[in-house]
Structure 1
Amino acid sequence: MPISVLLSERKYSFLCLASILLISFAFLLLTYTSYPFFFAFPLPSDIHVSVSSPPPPSRSSSLQFPTEPELETQPADHLDLNVSLNIRWRACRLGSVTVDYIPCLDNFKAIKQLKSKKHLEHRERHCPKPPPRCLVPLPKGYKVPVQWPQSRDMIWYSNVPHPKLVEYKKEQNWVRKSDDYFVFPGGGTQFKNGVTAYIDFITETVPAIKWGEHIRVVLDVGCGVASFGGYLLDRDVVTMSFAPKDEHEAQIQFALERGIPATLSVIGSKKLTFPDDAYDLIHCARCRVHWEEDDGKPLLELNRILRPGGFFVWSATPVYRNDERDPMVALTQSICWKVVAKRDNFDSTEIGLVIYQKPSSYSCYAHDRTKRPPLCDRKTKKEVSWYKPLRNCTSRLPVDSNGNLLGWPSPWPHRLRNKPQSLPAEPDAEAIFNEDTKHWAALVSDVYFDALAINWASIRNVMDMNAGYGGFAAALNELPLWVMNVVPIDAQDTLSIIFERGLIGIYHDWCESLSTYPRTYDLLHSSFLFKNRKQRCNIIDVAVEMDRILRPGGYLLLQDTMETIQKLNPVLRSLQWSTSLYEGQFLVGKKGFWRPKY
């Protein structure tokens, strides 16, 4: 064949191939630009987060496992999802706590070395370094959890096999054992006629407490099995229930297994991991906290996280006494809390309550300052409450960029989508917020619901590991589930905005273990979480923690770069998870029931 003919034929073949590639590229461009998959979460650059946390653990001593996979990034269509790291996983072995192991709360070596336990330091976080890479075994006979809403009233005994609370609280109707189930009748220490009657009693006492409208976000201190928060869900109120580990056997674990928002925490020597001015109402029913101790620091911490104009409902036998020498009376007066109601002997139960209201202006603080705790330094208003000590000062009221005091949020559900007052003052801040809300609504509807292999009917407890403005949680608002929004300590601090929207959340460092029990969540959501953690912690350690807190049969829904997916997927496969990839950026992992035998 003449060379000229050969060149001619190759020329036309090349033109044909080029045309096909051009058409394909145009099609892909239209497909990807029709939906903003790669919407970044931008915030004005001058929002500064002051972070002080323990130094990240050294990885040099962790020799049992490989480090993060060093892989050359491959195109999505070339990624083999069946590739697994050769990791010899072992089961955690810690005696009686093994199946409920919480690394940062069960660090017995660190607890033994504490110089003092006066301020409940032994109930606070003490994270092991390096993080443990063992896998928590399942309780014997573990079953797929009872689905919501049945789970509010009954759970499998074998999933949380802790019967002591039944005997300990049998007179208070917290929980009963019935065949293979724990049953929760809606009673409690202060709920002798049932929690519904108790909630109505609060409303009758102070009609301004309009559940699910004026009051949306509640904190329940020392919550028992969280029946108060569980029944408030019927009234469009989301309650963060918290208690320390082991105060009553597995009470928070009962709450989470029931599908009720809860976390492990304690008012000890450190601030709670919530922002200032977060909660509309705080509730304490015989919560066993000595508010006046240590110069009143525990109550000053409540004052910090209570929204101006918000209520503190303190329910206990002695609270209605009028003893001016009572330290609690003096302390609440010193921080200008107003007694708006006081009741005793509710329905002949000898239960009393007092309801305080936090001031929404500085008018009271201006009088007789010598008898009041000093106002906190303005700098503390900007710090993230992560390993920060409690302070004996009164938190300053929130203001906007012009120094004007912030008002109460819009009534629920309008506050979910209205512009938050705590948004930064930059001209484009509102536009960014609105775009973020639209982005998540569209992404959840078009991709998460329609395109991914996730059984949303099985999901109740959800965690957004990198929550931003809380747009993912807002998009799920109509579903029968709840979302714990996590703002990483090295991300921009948006947690105040999340609470102002009527959602709940916490600060956390994903280089450490979370303060929750194993098998807590049905779905973990992560949107570009790992980009800021490459230098601080190993992706294997984060995967081990996700495996710990996710229930068998639960999902990881991750949107990230191809580089991150290529590193994480082999780790998940080594844990015997099944994985699937959508559009080269959405990785769905499903945890099974596999656990190592040794």
Structure 2
Amino acid sequence: MARDNGSPKIHQLDSTRWSVTYVLVVVALCITFYILGAWQNTTPPALDPTSNLATNAGCDCPCLRPGGSSSTAAALDFDAHHESSLNETPATIDKFPPCDLNFSEYTPCHDRTRGRRFERAMLVYRERHCPGNDELIRCLVPAPPKYKTPFKWPQSRDYAWYDNIPHKELSIEKAVQNWIQVDGDRFRFPGGGTMFPRGADAYIDDINALISLTDGTIRTAIDTGCGVASWGAYLLRRDIVTMSFAPRDTHEAQVQFALERGVPAMIGVMATQRLPYPARAFDMAHCSRCLIPWHAFDGLYLTEVDRVLRPGGFWILSGPPIHWKKYYQGWERTQEDLKNEQDSIEEVAKRLCWKKYIEKEDLAIWQKPFNHIECIESRRMYETTPQICKNDNADAGWYKKMEACITPLPEVGGPDEVAGGVLEKWPERAFAVPPRISRGTIPGVDSRKFEEDNAMWKERVTHYKRIILPLPKGRYRNVMDMNANLGGFAAALVKYPVWVMNVVPASSNRDTLGVIYERGFIGTYQDWCEAFSTYPRTYDLIHADGVFSIYQDRCDITYILLEMDRMLRPEGTVIIRDTVEVLTKVQAITDGMRWNNQIIDHESGPFNPEKILVAVKTYWTADPSTQQQKALLDIPPHLSFGDDLDGHELTLELPLLRDRQACMAEMPLPHLLPDLVLRPKVLLVPEALIQQPLPSSLPHDDDAAAVLGDGSLARLGTAEALGEGRLDVLRRRRGAAKEPPGRGTRRRRCDPGG
């Protein structure tokens, strides 16, 4: 019985041994695969410097190196580790051709020709006017033929390559004011300005003697009519970031110069629409002879400054009419005129409830109240205008008309309380919970989610550093975040030598741009179905988180990618985060854009459905030899004024004229006429001179064809400009052409090279 009872025990023991062995083998395999997976996840693929992601060996290539691997053969492992049947990449790639060279400075929504269709009153023609669907271009905007990688910051603050922005006009027009100088093959920015002949640094020191610029209280500033943004450039060393803006055509390429220097700037104008920024955004606003009529239109423009100025913020004014008793003769205005203008500005500021903080020599400073308790009371008692706006979305800044009413501040509990909440000083402000979040005004976001967002972006930027090694090393300066959300990406880069243009889509369900400004960063509203208000080649790094998921059903994402290419500098980098399905569509387009790109895994590992597309724009420039030379085009003799062109191309492209405008501006218009004659039949006048009075020596017969940009010589016929550097030709009547008068009175010949 004992033997029989023991037999089952032996059989049971063998079975148990096999089970334990099986379990141990499975566990060992799991551990092995886990370790391998973890190792793979901690060594993300990186671009190899030997790869073809940068085609110009002479440029500072933003190549990415493999982390912890000596093998270059396996470095480019950008394949997403997933299986999907949604690969929609076409069998043939649609290659985008380069645009003509005359598009090298194309700004779609600030095109001069399109602007002329709109009224000039209140500068409406200088506002955003974007092309319609039938006007969109499907080509790649080229860089100038000798384009070079810009200087690194901080050297870029003082220097820029002439070949990158081949315009000498500003250096001559503003030579006395010391804005910009030509120094061999480069521009030099001495830091001068119209109202700071001793330099921007000394001018800022004068301001600092009146209000503190160094204690962290003032972090965000706005400069209206910025010139080449020297004020903003020199404020950066005081940890103040400035949103500088100026119109497209006040001075040649001034905003382009600012961005080439690595200084934040946008194309913009104070006209009829609100500025594209939220309410209570800036600690300080500045105007140094910005030529904005602050006293006009019932103080409308100063009312808009009040909207974007933070409670307790400062408005600084220098130039006319401030200190008019000293400068009135140089300004060529009467004392009475200047005094009346300053009195009007003082009155507008008083009606806005501002207080005159100080006026000393060339500077006048006003301060916005910390709350509206007294302001509201004064309206009740005296019916003072402007009134407080009612039912107004104070933050709305995208295609919204300015209003002649005061934007209301958040309610407070007492006269000493700051409306909207007190902000931390910089740099603590960057990571402190913004008042808009702590007060519960951002739906779905509280303090805990804000902290989680900061932690997430810190992890993501750490992942980016492993992929893009030049990121923390000064290779990138101008950075754009196309969907900034709470500004976490910019905050994670705060220690790097970069600045970030934080963009919040205008149609976003959650308006977070005010939060971004409360963190001490800058940004703007934007609809990515339209072009951005900047010049080509103005950003080194563009980051797009979920942008294409937002817009794929609203407009053709091809044009969003072409706009990104326009804004991106040669050898600049793009980071696009989105679902794998969306990135597949995006990659199918970018493969035809002269970008080298690959899709890599999410920082959390290969099983996350969100992926990252990293791309580098290759170096290429326009080929000037392929451009048609039309400057000596003859006019068909049978055409007369009013005749249908009937397919005849009479457009002149005048690259030579651009270089001649600078020295032409020094001479009276009558003496320029002979120099501008390319043919007896055609008289050319540069756009820079169209505002001058009509000279008596201008030929008035039908045989002379004058070219002007704005129709001011309409009595000679009709002329319509076709864009920067392109002018239409007035048609001549039948008969022999006559020589324009004054051909023998030439005073000088402008050299095309300067």
The question of whether the paired residues in 1 share the 8 Å contact of 2:196 and 2:203 is answered with: yes
Matched, 1:338 2:355: yes
User: Matched residue of 1:104: which SS?
Assistant: helix
Match of 1:143 in 2: 148
Alignment of 1:460-539 (within 5 A): 460-491=477-508, 492-539=510-557
Comparing 471-480 and 124-133, the one that deviates more: 124-133
Cα distance in 1 for partners of 2:418, 2:172 equals: 53
Matched, 1:371 2:378: no
Cα distance in 2 for partners of 1:497, 1:490 equals: 17
Cα distance in 2 for partners of 1:214, 1:388 equals: 30
Structure 1 residues 323 and 342, CA gap change in structure 2 (3 angstroms): farther
Structure 1 residues 212 and 153, CA gap change in structure 2 (3 angstroms): farther
User: Matched residue of 2:202: which SS?
Assistant: helix
* Per-residue deviation, 1:102: 0.7
Comparing 401-410 and 369-378, the one that deviates more: 401-410
Match of 1:551 in 2: 569
The match for 2:196 among 186, 191, 195 is 191
Match of 1:201 in 2: 206
* Per-residue deviation, 1:580: 2.4
Matched, 1:586 2:616: no
* Per-residue deviation, 1:18: 9.7
* Per-residue deviation, 1:532: 1.6
Cα distance in 2 for partners of 1:557, 1:427 equals: 26
Amino acid at match of 1:90: P
Comparing 587-596 and 24-33, the one that deviates more: 24-33
Comparing 20-29 and 129-138, the one that deviates more: 20-29
* Per-residue deviation, 1:320: 4.2
The question of whether the paired residues in 2 share the 8 Å contact of 1:519 and 1:552 is answered with: yes
The question of whether the paired residues in 2 share the 8 Å contact of 1:278 and 1:307 is answered with: yes
Cα distance in 2 for partners of 1:409, 1:427 equals: 21
The match for 1:177 among 176, 179, 182 is 182
Match of 1:420 in 2: 434
* Per-residue deviation, 1:139: 1.1
User: Matched residue of 1:199: which SS?
Assistant: helix
Matched, 1:565 2:583: yes
The question of whether the paired residues in 1 share the 8 Å contact of 2:88 and 2:588 is answered with: yes
Q: How many residues align?
A: 533
Structure 1 residues 25 and 465, CA gap change in structure 2 (3 angstroms): farther
- Gap runs ≥5 in structure 1: 1-14, 36-72, 345-351
- Gap runs ≥5 in structure 2: 1-22, 44-79, 325-338, 603-610, 627-754
The question of whether the paired residues in 2 share the 8 Å contact of 1:463 and 1:484 is answered with: yes
User: Matched residue of 2:374: which SS?
Assistant: coil
Matched, 1:274 2:277: yes
Amino acid at match of 1:330: E
Matched, 1:92 2:106: no
* Per-residue deviation, 1:378: 3.2
The match for 1:450 among 454, 463, 466 is 466
Matched, 1:430 2:440: no
The match for 2:251 among 243, 248, 253 is 248
Match of 1:348 in 2: none
Alignment of 1:336-415 (within 5 A): 336-344=353-361, 352-365=362-375, 366-367=377-378, 368-381=381-394, 384-399=396-411, 405-415=419-429
Cα distance in 2 for partners of 1:510, 1:76 equals: 31
* Per-residue deviation, 1:34: 11
Match of 1:122 in 2: 125
Alignment of 1:47-58 (within 5 A): none
Cα distance in 1 for partners of 2:141, 2:28 equals: 52
* Per-residue deviation, 1:92: 3.0
* Per-residue deviation, 1:132: 2.2
Match of 2:686 in 1: none
The question of whether the paired residues in 2 share the 8 Å contact of 1:83 and 1:573 is answered with: no
User: Matched residue of 1:392: which SS?
Assistant: coil
Match of 2:560 in 1: 542
* Per-residue deviation, 1:112: 3.6
User: Matched residue of 2:449: which SS?
Assistant: helix
Structure 1 residues 32 and 282, CA gap change in structure 2 (3 angstroms): farther
* Per-residue deviation, 1:153: 0.4
The match for 2:261 among 255, 258, 261 is 258
The question of whether the paired residues in 2 share the 8 Å contact of 1:557 and 1:588 is answered with: yes
* Per-residue deviation, 1:323: 5.8
Cα distance in 1 for partners of 2:391, 2:322 equals: 33
* Per-residue deviation, 1:17: 13
User: Matched residue of 2:536: which SS?
Assistant: coil
Query: RCO (CA 8 Å, sep 6+): is it higher in 1 or 2?
Result: 1
The question of whether the paired residues in 2 share the 8 Å contact of 1:464 and 1:485 is answered with: yes
Cα distance in 1 for partners of 2:163, 2:296 equals: 40
Cα distance in 1 for partners of 2:165, 2:622 equals: 20
* Per-residue deviation, 1:103: 0.8
The structure having more radius of gyration, on CA atoms, is 2
* Per-residue deviation, 1:89: 2.1
